[in-house]
Amino acid sequence: MTTPGPVAEIDARHLLCPLPVLRLRRALQSAAPGAVVALEATDPAAVLDVPHFCAEAGHELLSSAPLPDGARRYLVRRG
């Protein structure tokens, strides 16, 4: 099964905890169940915060990958 493209792209570069996760939460709340949302963040805490948020809120972290500019891209499927 292929993963559909994101329904929302969140640029949270240069924002610090908890703002990247709060923006991700807001985007997921307005997305349909099963929709994928992309988050790009530079906050070092996001590497811990995003997986924890997904586990607590019932969402699926599909991937976490570094970007050339030092940010990290997270793909999350709404639970």
**17: CB partners within 8 A, 6+ apart:** 43, 45, 46, 49
**Catalytic (active site) residue 54:** no
Pick the catalytic residue from 7, 8, 15, 17: 17
How far, in Å, CA of 17 to CA of 23, rounded?
11
- Which residues are known to be catalytic? 17
